[in-house]
């Protein structure tokens, strides 16, 4: 493994610019100049994107801009000692010691471990003072290489015997508190380990027993079960989800972002001990560890439902993304009619016994069937993981069953949400019953799934499924009658509104099913079904593309980090005609997102009809442009609707209840 830092990557007391953007760009250029990255602007862009999510300035005059980037070929540390310092957002002022941590996008664990050692060294005063006193580039390289294990360090002087820590009053039941902590950041390289070391040092100083589990990019070593069991409280200093959080179920918990673990470790410890001594403190969700356990979280019902729905959506998206793209690839390889016989083709044929259409038809059918199968899990996965968010693992089975029943009853996406909520709350309620000891072992694997499945799925079958199905049938009949008149542009507007109303739900599915069902009747003499299919597909692509445009290009500062990340994925989802890519945005802010999407969908539907755009393919988005005519009309309609929706949602977020938006972003940041 090559040296991570060299003299060519060091800048001592040279002016690199008046602001942090200039400093990062200059250090990125230095990495490229040393042949360790291919594109300075790409490396800068990746580091700046990370900086925009969360400023990298730290107390003590330190800044650690960092990124994983495809432009990086060799893991590198570029260092600058600045005179004067530059503001990187630290609470105590400008930074004079700046490390640009540049890791390849596919960095090996060994490289990530080296970069993590640097982050931990930055918490040591002798390391930073050595850098400030360094006389040459060679001195800096020697200090850093010794810290990260690339050069043997001088043997330290024997420390003086430390006095026993004085009592700080951080006691539980008359003894020093026992606290466990988890730290993690978005990249898992720097902040994760710096927070771990800061908390460890603060715990030692406070005279308590504190053990930290840093969950970094190079993996993590799980805390021993007995350590967690004996802990009085838990600290989650994290910017991303804690891995295996059920291990801490029932423990009093203090949550914060990872930077607070670096900047305020003493305060976090005080709060954790206070929570341990408070019977009403917030606790980690999951199965309680005792009869007196407090509720998992004290959130408002609106915030709780939002978190539950977003959990379901996050688990559902991979089914949608993978399935939709596989279907599109099936059309591309096997032709626009590949779906007509795809299932019989894969059953009756093989690579050595190809169908009449040859290898292309066979491979296209294989991709199509896999994609349709993946998409078939969409509603079940949504319902199952909504229930999981409410009742943990005992809720998964009844949630999946309720979602499958919603599909059988033609209740679609909305039915899946309702079924998942029913299954989850029933499973949660049953799990809180004080069952006899001999029955407790059967509760999560037999009793809860059985009872919750009966209640949730039974209600879907007996009361809820049929009304939704009836509504869908009525809408379908109405649209068919309207399309037979001269109001074809109005049909485009209506279909655009429907496609963007519930983003993959029953109303969306009515419009889509209406379009697909009519394709078989389309012909050169009767192009109306092809016109309808094009309008539906284009309008359905608008929501994810519009939210991607708004959150990653036009108004990044209006969206919290998690939504900016969702926006990156939404570009591909929208291009593939996967309307569900906008669900995370709509679930978090429905009153502003959904009307904006509907407006853009209506524009796209109307223009598609006005340009007489036809589509012979029922799915695939831009991946089936070969089956769309005229392509220019399709693209113009799509771009127009996307821009209208993006500008509208930005305007609504800017002028309609911006205070509420800021509060929602703060809640998301704390929850992460």
pLDDT bucket at 321, cuts 50 / 70 / 90: low
Host H or E run for residue 58: strand 57-58
What is the token pair recorded at 339? 């779906």
Among 314-318, 384-388, 486-490, 571-575, where is mean pLDDT lowest?
Answer: 314-318
> Out of 66, 111, 191, 619, which one is annotated catalytic?
66
Greater confidence (214 vs 560) lies with: 214
pLDDT at 483: 61
The answer to whether the beta carbons of residues 242 and 215 sit under 8 Å apart is yes
pLDDT at 438: 66
500 is catalytic: no
What is the token pair recorded at 14? 């040279």
| pTM of structure | 0.47
DSSP string for 501-513:
HSSSSHHHHHHHH
pLDDT at 601: 94
**How far is Cα of residue 620 from the mean position of the Cα atoms in its chain?**
24
Q: Is the pLDDT of residue 298 over 50?
A: no
Q: Is the pLDDT of residue 566 over 60?
A: yes
Q: Residue 553 CB: number of other CB atoms within 10 A?
A: 11
> Out of 111, 185, 500, 619, which one is annotated catalytic?
185
pLDDT at 315: 76
pLDDT at 648: 93
Among 124-138, 487-501, 650-664, where is mean pLDDT lowest?
Answer: 650-664
Q: Is the pLDDT of residue 196 over 50?
A: yes
d(CA 661, CA 300): 16
User: For 149-264, where are the alpha helices, taking DSSP H only?
Assistant: 191-206, 225-230, 258-263
pLDDT at 192: 78
d(CA 437, CA 130): 61
CA angle 458, 459, 462 (to 5 degrees): 80
pLDDT at 218: 53
What is the token pair recorded at 380? 């079940």
Q: Is the pLDDT of residue 215 over 70?
A: yes
What is the end-to-end Cα distance of the chain in Å, rounded?
Answer: 35
d(CA 104, CA 310): 31
Nearest of 49, 47, 41 to residue 64 by alpha carbon: 47
pLDDT at 423: 94
Q: Is the pLDDT of residue 305 over 80?
A: no
| Mean pLDDT of all residues in 76-95 | 86
d(CA 576, CA 175): 59
pLDDT at 167: 47
CA angle 282, 283, 289 (to 5 degrees): 145
pLDDT at 349: 94
pLDDT bucket at 488, cuts 50 / 70 / 90: confident
pLDDT tens string 429-478: 988 887 775 676 678 778 889 999 999 999 999 988 888 777 766 765 67
Backbone angles phi, psi at 559, to 5 degrees: -120, 140
pLDDT at 665: 45
pLDDT at 625: 85
pLDDT at 509: 67
pLDDT at 116: 63
d(CA 419, CA 401): 9
The answer to whether the beta carbons of residues 514 and 623 sit under 8 Å apart is no
What is the token pair recorded at 227? 């350590």
With a pLDDT cut of 70, the percent of the chain lying above it is: 79
Nearest of 472, 481, 315 to residue 384 by alpha carbon: 315
pLDDT at 109: 52
Greater confidence (569 vs 139) lies with: 139
Among 187-196, 486-495, 652-661, where is mean pLDDT lowest?
Answer: 652-661
| Mean pLDDT of all residues in 213-222 | 72
Highest mean pLDDT of the ranges 79-83, 244-248, 391-395, 637-641: 637-641
d(CA 639, CA 598): 15
111 is catalytic: no
pLDDT bucket at 162, cuts 50 / 70 / 90: very low
Nearest of 282, 248, 277 to residue 177 by alpha carbon: 277
Nearest of 114, 72, 118 to residue 98 by alpha carbon: 118
Q: Is the pLDDT of residue 296 over 60?
A: no
pLDDT bucket at 244, cuts 50 / 70 / 90: confident
What is the token pair recorded at 220? 């993590």
d(CA 582, CA 504): 10
pLDDT at 636: 95
pLDDT at 345: 94
The answer to whether the beta carbons of residues 583 and 504 sit under 8 Å apart is yes
């Amino acid at each position: 493994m090559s040296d991570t830092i060299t003299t060519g990557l060091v800048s001592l007391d040279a002016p690199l610019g008046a602001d942090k953007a200039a400093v990062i760009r200059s250090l990125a250029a230095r990495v490229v100049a040393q042949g360790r990255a291919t594109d300075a602007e790409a490396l800068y862009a990746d580091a700046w994107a990370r900086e925009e999510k969360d400023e990298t300035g730290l107390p003590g005059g330190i800044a650690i801009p960092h990124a994983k980037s495809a432009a990086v070929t060799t893991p590198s540390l570029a260092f600058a000692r600045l005179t004067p310092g530059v503001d990187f957002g630290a609470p105590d002022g400008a930074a004079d010691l700046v490390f640009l941590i540049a890791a390849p996008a596919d960095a090996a664990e060994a490289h990530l471990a080296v970069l993590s050692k640097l982050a931990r060294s930055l918490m040591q005063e002798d390391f930073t003072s050595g850098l400030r006193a360094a006389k040459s580039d060679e001195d800096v390289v020697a200090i850093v290489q010794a810290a990260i294990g690339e050069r043997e360090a001088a043997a330290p002087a024997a420390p003086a015997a430390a006095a026993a820590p004085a009592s700080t009053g951080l006691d539980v039941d008359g003894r020093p508190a026992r606290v466990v902590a988890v730290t993690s950041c978005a990249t898992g390289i720097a902040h994760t380990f710096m927070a771990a070391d800061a908390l460890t040092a603060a715990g030692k100083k406070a005279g308590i027993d504190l053990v930290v589990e840093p969950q970094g990019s190079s993996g993590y070593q799980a805390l021993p079960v007995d350590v967690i069991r004996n802990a009085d409280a838990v600290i989650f200093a994290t910017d991303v989800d804690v891995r295996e959080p059920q291990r801490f179920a029932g423990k009093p918990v203090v949550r914060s972002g990872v930077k607070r673990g670096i900047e305020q470790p003493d305060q976090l410890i005080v709060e954790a001990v206070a929570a341990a001594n408070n019977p009403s403190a917030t606790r980690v969700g999951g199965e309680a560890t005792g009869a007196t356990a407090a509720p998992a979280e004290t959130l408002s019902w609106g915030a709780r439902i939002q978190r539950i729905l977003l959990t379901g959506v996050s688990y559902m998206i991979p089914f949608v993304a993978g399935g939709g793209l596989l279907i599109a690839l099936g059309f591309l390889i096997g032709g626009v009619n590949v779906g007509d016989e795809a299932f019989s083709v894969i059953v009756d044929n093989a690579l050595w016994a190809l169908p009449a259409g040859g290898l292309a038809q066979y491979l296209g059918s294989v991709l199509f069937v896999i994609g349709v199968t993946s998409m078939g899990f969409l509603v079940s996965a949504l319902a199952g993981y909504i229930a999981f968010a409410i009742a943990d693992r005992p809720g998964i089975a009844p949630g999946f069953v309720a979602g499958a029943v919603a599909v059988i009853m033609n209740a679609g996406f909305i039915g899946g949400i309702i079924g998942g909520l029913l299954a989850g709350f029933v499973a949660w309620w049953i799990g809180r019953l004080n069952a006899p000891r001999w029955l407790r072992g059967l509760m999560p694997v037999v009793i809860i799934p059985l009872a919750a499945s009966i209640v949730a799925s039974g209600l879907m079958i007996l009361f809820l499924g049929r009304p939704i199905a009836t509504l869908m049938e009525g809408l379908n009949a109405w649209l068919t009658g309207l399309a037979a008149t001269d109001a074809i542009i109005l049909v485009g507007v209506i279909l655009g509104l429907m496609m963007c109303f519930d983003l993959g739900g029953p109303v969306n599915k009515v419009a889509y099913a209406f379009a697909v069902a009519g394709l078989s009747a389309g012909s050169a003499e009767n192009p109306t079904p092809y016109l309808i299919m094009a309008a539906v597909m284009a309008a359905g692509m608008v929501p994810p593309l519009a939210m991607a445009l708004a959150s990653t290009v036009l108004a990044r500062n209006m969206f919290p980090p998690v939504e900016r990340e969702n926006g990156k994925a939404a570009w591909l989802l929208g291009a593939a005609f996967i309307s569900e890519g906008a669900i995370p945005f709509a679930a978090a802010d429905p009153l502003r997102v959904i009307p904006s999407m509907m407006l853009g969908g209506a524009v796209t539907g109307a223009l598609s009809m006005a340009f007489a755009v036809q589509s012979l393919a029922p799915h695939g988005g831009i991946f089936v442009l070969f089956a769309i005519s005229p392509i220019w009309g399709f693209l113009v309609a799509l771009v127009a609707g996307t821009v209208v929706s993006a500008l509208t949602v930005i305007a609504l977020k800017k002028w309609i209840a911006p205070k509420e938006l800021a509060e929602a972003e703060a809640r998301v940041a704390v929850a992460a």
